[in-house]
């Protein structure tokens, strides 16, 4: 159960951080916009190129909650000192290439990283996250086609949370079945219950094995749900409270916690919850004391210097 | 006259266009029940149905391409691109197709297509949700580019854009959505291609458009306290540009500052400056100055975003150097 | 056999015009570039939005060879008075929306015309031509998805001539099977021998029935071959002379002619051949006498005036 | 020194880059056996293999996107976009991604990516195969824009672009591919950001780049016969622009004409004119004049294409008006 405990810790951290983000945003301490992944934590665990909904992916890759919060709050301790913000965070040192504000924009970039990994023989496999809505962008198809043609080491993970903003999958994905898309490129693919962290890990692990073995790209569709609105201004008129309740009942955190308790890990669970709470409180404290990023010569820094 | 928010004026224009002309329809992401990311189309799908307020998948290039095909064959699509930054995905359909077809097909087709899109920074949305990209589209023959600065113009210029037989890029400064102003209730069109004198003054000329206009007016107010009367010109249509009004305003004072919210290099201000120099050289008493955003991507942090965007202080500093 | 005779006439006209285009280009009487569809004539018969290889489509729609040649030669009698040239010819009066110089660029435009046809209830079905290479453009996928979602009246016709310029399908289409792509959007589709004009007409007719009946879009892949190089400068290093010979042996004109002769239509065939020869000679004559288009106020005419 | 065609100079640069740096690789449509639409890469795939001379499907936006991902993770991709017109399909990846990532990720990544692309008219290819779109990319912070005008510069600037840590748009005027000039055989880099004086003269200054440079030189030759000595400045890098050399050249004569092959409105000439006015106003004896293509799509017919493109006669007419 060690892996499940670890997963629980990461998921709880993600949830706790996102809840603080929501609160800080409501307080005005975070400027701009951000897309919370509450409800989708189970998908994030284990993986390297992200979408607009990427806080969880970064934390799952070992991101420091203080540096993530600092980024959102525009502080000097932020991963990009606030230059990027929620949708443009990169932590190359952790193998986290970045979140991306353009729907579908990260897909070719991830594929290019896989191309580089293959050409440089680094043995790295890239994981690329995006939503159901992104599968309607031309870049999705163009990239999957090239990845398949060139057998690139990349696992595409589609977090199908049933909606792209307000638009339900049935109204945006012709035929309704996203898996038909990778199949058109003869790419191995699977669908998994995205609310079950163990199932996700198993499915991803299986597909990654093939990817790592040089068999080329693979595709995983994780069925999930975002518990909050799309972004902070969303009134959720496009879905029912009943549907939300049905999915809430399948909260991946609650499920994981119940499994751990049933297996007798109550002390460990308690410790994790305590740890995470204090880790997040500490992170927030760090950010509150960090100074806002002072402007420098921004125009000069638009270019890299040799 | 009723007071409306800038955003409401746009909605009213869309509603009157839908009411007035059965060939008009809207396309865009989340423009139905959700009402669009900025709520501009709220209520319209309930009233006009999902056929005429057509929600699309996230496929910007092809959505614009479909609109081109529909415009060539008798309809008047009005496409919403959720943030101007995303319009880059559709650059091919706008520039290689929409803008060219009328000319290269020797006048046999028209492409009466409007692309509405919110632009500009100030909300901390970061580099992919804050750009002013109108200068990129300024150099596209066959494309009109319109940027309103007041609620009344937002409505009148949008209605004129929808009735225009050409593709029109209609840029909505998102910082202005929450500004109120008087807007006539009835249907009216404000002609494209005509600038507007937003303030009279004889000492210097501030040339602006969109979100730059309120900045210019605030600067003019401050300058007046120091005894300098600034004329403020609101270009309204960037292409075709109203040379006559522009040059008259430049000649009147001989001292010009061009203000824009996009980045300095290659900006709209360059074109304005070049025209003023070509057309009003003899009247110029000082070099035309440009006030614009810094030449960097738009950062997200408030401190940085503010530092990068043009300010009233920048205009005042430029004015200082004119005398 | 009336339809086959008509088809033969159109195919022969296309062939004859293309051969003159090649000769005129070689003589310098045509400026610019152009993409010949010699070999692919069988596909063109019967159809409305085209690609860069569109002379045949236009002639099949009833285009006047003199006005087509005039366009290529930059004469006042050209369909667009030479403003467009080979890749940008439109004849709306014939329902020919236009050729298109951007690979994949015509696909959303055709789809939009189908949207307009549906919204305006005109009963028109749109046919959209493109090559195998165009199926790798994002616009292809985006457009097919929307057409399928909205059940638009459009027949997509992919002229699979095995190459996109020099790149063979096997190296550009992952999985190698283009039909998997429309299937990913649950779109009815079929493959047909593009060298057999009767088979093409039958297959297209069948699919168009469904399209016209309001069942939504359909997809036809016509297997064909371009007998010439991609464009005039192509040395054809990417394919063998043997392969070319194999396909030449299946020349759709020769096949059709043989069928007609076997059925006893020798006099009709002779008459058609004579007619077409003189029609094309006449067209060329007309163009040689037409004046080159004089420049006007080109900048002013970039805009339409109310 | 060996004489090479402009096209050969580019091929030599690519070959030396591939030879010199294992992280360099090429991507593009038909760049293998076929050698690219203009034959620039002919022979390279045979020598360096299909991995490093990588042919791609027709998927411009994602091809550039893949290059961005590869550039961020240690490689130096050089992408060929077959005609500059097609770059509009990749505008999103270039502008929203390649150009921004270094800055917004606070310097943690670099995107050393070169996009080579042939531009310009003169061959009757028509509106979708003839554009000069560099002015669209001039206003993109984080992107360098380079346009060589001689074979020697084509090689040296390309090698410098490939070694640059930033994304570089490398525009190849296709009308120059067939021009010959001396090109040193060894590896060398011509620094980006420095203009070149192509001709000395004290009466007026012709500022040009790319295909405009030979036009300017021909005009200078004609002007000399009339007794006027024109200085000809070749900008070479449009961004960052070499202000120092530009302003010195402008001040030297006080009479400037900016020449470009793209359309007039919103062109590179506007930016140059604006800079000259801001930086050299006191020295100006006449308005800065712009010579450019007419503001229409590029027609295919030779008569029309010629009428639309800028000519030596246009420069001479503009020069007339300077005195
Ligand atoms: C090119 C582009 N178009 C539109 C948007 C606006 N937008 C942001 S997220 C989103 C929905 C994305 O849906 P999906 O891919 O399913 O991800 P989810 O938000 O559900 O996680 C949209 C339309 C964008 N950021 N970029
Ligand atoms: C966007 C774009 N990219 C590249 C090209 C150059 N180009 C013209 S035709 C062609 C090949 C097209 O292949 P296919 O779709 O199979 O059509 P075919 O020429 O075989 O009929 C290419 C790459 C183009 N015109 N437009
Ligand atoms: Mg979703
Ligand atoms: Mg082909």
- pLDDT 10s digits, A142-170: 999 999 999 999 999 999 999 999 999 99
Q: Which is higher by pLDDT, C169 or A37?
A: C169
Indicate yes or no: CB of C112 within 8 angstroms of CB of B73. Answer: yes
DSSP C230-248: SSTT---TTS-HHHHHHHH
Do the beta carbons of residue B205 and residue B231 sit within 8 Å?
A: yes
ipTM of the complex: 0.97
Atom of ligand 2 nearest to the CA of C137: 1
* pLDDT-derived band at A258, boundaries 50, 70, 90: very high
In short, whether C168's Cβ falls inside 6 Å of ligand 2 is no
**CA separation for the pair D205, D200 (Å, rounded):** 9
Residue D194's pLDDT is 98
Judged by a CB distance cut-off of 8 A, whether residue C103 touches chain B is no
**CA separation for the pair C160, C167 (Å, rounded):** 12
Q: How far is the CA of C183 from the centre of ligand 4 (A)?
A: 20
**B289 has which bridge partners?**
B257
Identified catalytic residue from D8, D29, D97, D129: D129
Residue A46's pLDDT is 36
Which residue is listed with tokens 């009942």?
A: A249
Indicate yes or no: CB of A116 within 8 angstroms of CB of D166. Answer: no
| β-pairing verdict for C154-160 and C126-131 | parallel
Q: Which residues of D touch A217 (CB under 8 A)?
A: none
D186-240 pLDDT, tens digit per residue, is: 999 999 999 999 999 999 999 999 999 999 999 999 999 999 999 999 999 999 9
Residue A234's pLDDT is 86
Helix (H, G, I), strand (E, B) or coil at A269: helix
pLDDT for A135 beyond 60: yes
The sheet carrying D204-208 orders its strands as D196-199, D230-234, D204-208, D256-263, D289-293
Residue A47's pLDDT is 42
Segment D107-122 shows an average pLDDT of 97
Residue D211's pLDDT is 98
In short, whether A106's Cβ falls inside 6 Å of ligand 1 is no
Residue C27's pLDDT is 79
Please tell me the distance in Å from A31's CA to the nearest CA on chain B.
Answer: 6
B92-111 pLDDT, tens digit per residue, is: 999 999 999 999 999 999 99
**CA separation for the pair A83, A292 (Å, rounded):** 11
Centroid of chain to Cα B1 = 24
Closest to D296 (Cβ–Cβ): which among C88, C134, C299?
C299
Judged by a CB distance cut-off of 8 A, whether residue A137 touches chain B is yes
In short, whether C194's Cβ falls inside 6 Å of ligand 2 is no
In short, whether A118's Cβ falls inside 6 Å of ligand 1 is no
| β-pairing verdict for D3-5 and D180-182 | antiparallel
Do the beta carbons of residue D151 and residue D180 sit within 8 Å?
A: yes
D13-33 pLDDT, tens digit per residue, is: 999 999 999 999 999 999 999
Centroid of chain to Cα C87 = 11
In short, whether B82's Cβ falls inside 6 Å of ligand 1 is yes
Atom of ligand 1 nearest to the CA of A130: 15
Residue ranges of domains in chain D, CATH in brackets:
3-182 (3.40.50.970), 196-322 (3.40.50.920)
**CA separation for the pair B9, B179 (Å, rounded):** 10
Q: Which is higher by pLDDT, B200 or C202?
A: B200
Helix (H, G, I), strand (E, B) or coil at C270: helix
Q: Which residues of D touch B136 (CB under 8 A)?
A: 136, 139
Per-residue pLDDT of chain B (323 residues), as tens digits, is 899 999 999 999 999 999 999 999 999 999 999 999 999 999 999 999 999 999 999 999 999 999 999 999 999 999 999 999 999 999 999 999 999 999 999 999 999 999 999 999 999 999 999 999 999 999 999 999 999 999 999 999 999 999 999 999 999 999 999 999 999 999 999 999 999 999 999 999 999 999 999 999 999 999 999 999 999 999 999 999 999 999 999 999 999 999 999 999 999 999 999 999 999 999 999 999 999 999 999 999 999 999 999 999 999 999 999 99
**CA separation for the pair C268, D99 (Å, rounded):** 64
Please, what is the angle between helix A252-262 and helix A2-27, to 10°?
140
Ligand index nearest the alpha carbon of residue B57: 1
pLDDT for C265 beyond 50: yes
In short, whether A161's Cβ falls inside 6 Å of ligand 1 is yes
Ligand index nearest the alpha carbon of residue D28: 2
| β-pairing verdict for A154-160 and A126-131 | parallel
pLDDT for A39 beyond 90: no
Indicate yes or no: CB of B61 within 8 angstroms of CB of C139. Answer: yes
D257-300 pLDDT, tens digit per residue, is: 999 999 999 999 999 999 999 999 999 999 999 999 999 999 99
Q: Which residues of A touch D71 (CB under 8 A)?
A: 112
B191 C-beta neighbours (distance < 10 Å), count? 12
**Residue D32, CA atoms < 13 Å, CB-side half-sphere:** 17
Indicate yes or no: CB of A304 within 8 angstroms of CB of D65. Answer: no
Residue C45's pLDDT is 39
The pair phi, psi for residue A231, each rounded to 5°, is: -140, -175
Indicate yes or no: CB of B304 within 8 angstroms of CB of A83. Answer: yes
**Closest chain A residue by Cα to residue D111:** A304
Which residue is listed with tokens 């028509």?
A: D126
Q: Which parts of chain D fold into alpha helices (H)?
A: 6-20, 44-52, 60-72, 91, 99-104, 134-138, 151-163, 212-225, 243-253, 268-280, 302-308, 312-320
**Atom 20 of ligand 1: nearest residue by CA position:** A164
Which among D293, D244, D299, D302 has a CA at the least distance from the CA of D264?
D293
Segment A225-238 shows an average pLDDT of 86
Judged by a CB distance cut-off of 8 A, whether residue A107 touches chain C is no
Interface test with B, best of C98, C119, C122 (most B CBs within 10 A): C119
Residue C32's pLDDT is 57
C200 C-beta neighbours (distance < 10 Å), count? 25
Element (H, E) at C163: strand C163-164
Residue B237's pLDDT is 98
Residue C234's pLDDT is 86
A266-289 pLDDT, tens digit per residue, is: 999 999 999 999 999 999 999 999
Identified catalytic residue from B8, B29, B80, B129: B129
Chain B neighbors (3+ CB pairs < 8 Å): A, C, D
**Closest chain A residue by Cα to residue D105:** A80
The pair phi, psi for residue D26, each rounded to 5°, is: -110, 145
* Annotated catalytic residue D20: no
A66-117 pLDDT, tens digit per residue, is: 999 999 999 999 999 999 999 999 999 999 999 999 999 999 999 999 999 9
Residue C51's pLDDT is 85
pLDDT for A249 beyond 60: yes
Which residue is listed with tokens 């290689």?
A: B96
* pLDDT-derived band at C31, boundaries 50, 70, 90: low
Indicate yes or no: CB of A186 within 8 angstroms of CB of C175. Answer: yes
Q: How far is the CA of A118 from the centre of ligand 1 (A)?
A: 29
DSSP A1-66: -HHHHHHHHHHHHHHHHHHHHHHHHHHTSS-S-----TT-HHHHTT--B--SS-HHHHHHTT--HH
In short, whether C82's Cβ falls inside 6 Å of ligand 2 is no
pLDDT for C47 beyond 50: no
Ligand index nearest the alpha carbon of residue A52: 1
Do the beta carbons of residue D31 and residue D53 sit within 8 Å?
A: yes
Which among B197, B71, B37 has a CA at the least distance from the CA of B143?
B71
pLDDT for C242 beyond 90: yes
**A221 has which bridge partners?**
A158, A191
Which among A65, A36, A9 has a CA at the least distance from the CA of A253?
A9
Which residue is listed with tokens 């900016």?
A: D258
* Annotated catalytic residue B97: no
């Amino acid at each position: 159960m060690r892996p499940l405990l670890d997963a629980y810790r990461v998921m709880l951290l993600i949830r706790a951080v996102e809840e603080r983000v929501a609160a800080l945003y409501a307080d005005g301490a975070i400027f701009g916009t951000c897309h919370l992944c509450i409800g989708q934590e189970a998908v994030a665990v284990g993986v390297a190129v992200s979408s607009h909904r990427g806080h969880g992916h970064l934390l799952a890759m070992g991101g420091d909650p203080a540096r993530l919060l600092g980024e959102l709050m525009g502080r000097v301790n932020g991963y990009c000192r606030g230059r990027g913000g929620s949708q443009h965070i990169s932590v190359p040192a952790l193998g986290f290439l970045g979140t991306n504000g353009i729907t579908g924009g990260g897909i070719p970039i991830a594929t290019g990283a896989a191309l580089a990994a293959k050409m440089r023989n680094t043995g790295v496999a890239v994981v690329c996250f995006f939503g159901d809505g992104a599968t309607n962008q031309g870049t999705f198809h163009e990239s999957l086609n090239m990845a398949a043609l060139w057998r690139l080491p990349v696992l595409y993970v589609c977090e199908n949370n049933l909606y792209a903003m307000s638009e339900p999958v049935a109204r945006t994905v012709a035929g309704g079945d996203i898996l038909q898309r990778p199949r058109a490129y003869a790419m191995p693919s699977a669908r998994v219950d995205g609310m079950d962290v163990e199932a996700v890990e198993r499915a991803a692990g299986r597909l990654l094995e093939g990817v790592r073995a040089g068999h080329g790209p693979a595709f995983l569709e994780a069925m999930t749900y975002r518990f909050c609105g799309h972004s902070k201004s969303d009134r959720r008129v496009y879905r029912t409270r009943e549907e939300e309740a049905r999915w809430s009942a399948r909260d991946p955190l609650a499920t994981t916690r119940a499994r751990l308790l049933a297996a007798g890990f109550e002390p460990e669970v308690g410790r994790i919850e305590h740890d995470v709470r204090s880790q997040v409180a500490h992170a927030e404290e760090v950010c509150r004391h960090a100074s806002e990023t002072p402007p420098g010569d921004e125009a000069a820094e638009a270019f890299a210097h040799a | 006259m009723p007071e409306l928010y800038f955003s409401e004026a746009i909605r009213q224009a869309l509603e009157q266009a839908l009411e007035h002309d059965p060939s008009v329809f809207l396309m865009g992401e989340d423009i139905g029940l959700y009402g669009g990311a900025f709520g501009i189309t709220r209520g319209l799908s309930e009233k006009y149905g999902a056929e005429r307020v057509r929600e699309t998948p996230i496929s910007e290039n092809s959505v614009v391409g479909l609109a081109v095909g529909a415009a060539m064959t008798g309809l008047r699509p009005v496409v919403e691109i959720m943030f101007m930054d995303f319009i880059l995905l559709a650059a091919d359909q706008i520039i290689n197709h929409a803008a060219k077809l009328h000319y290269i097909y020797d006048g046999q087709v028209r492409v009466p297509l409007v692309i509405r899109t919110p632009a500009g920074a100030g909300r901390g949305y970061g580099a992919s949700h804050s750009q002013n990209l109108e200068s990129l589209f300024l150099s596209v023959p066959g494309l009109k580019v319109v940027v309103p600065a007041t609620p009344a113009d937002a409505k009148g210029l949008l209605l004129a854009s929808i009735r225009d037989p050409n593709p029109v890029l209609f840029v909505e400064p998102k910082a202005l959505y929450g500004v109120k102003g008087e807007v006539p209730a009835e249907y009216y069109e404000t002609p494209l291609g005509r600038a507007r004198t937003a303030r009279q003054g004889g000492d210097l000329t501030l040339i602006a458009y969109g979100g730059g206009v309120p900045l210019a007016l605030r600067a003019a107010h401050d300058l007046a306290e120091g005894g300098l009367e600034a004329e403020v010109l609101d270009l309204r249509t960037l292409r075709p540009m109203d040379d006559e009004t522009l040059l008259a305003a430049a000649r009147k004072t001989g001292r010009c500052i061009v203000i824009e919210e996009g980045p300095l290099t290659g900006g709209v201000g360059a074109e304005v400056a070049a025209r003023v120099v070509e057309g009003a050289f003899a009247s110029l008493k000082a070099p035309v100055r440009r006030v614009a955003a810094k030449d960097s991507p738009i950062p997200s942090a408030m401190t940085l975003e503010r530092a990068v965007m043009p300010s009233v202080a920048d205009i005042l500093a430029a004015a200082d150097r004119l005398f």
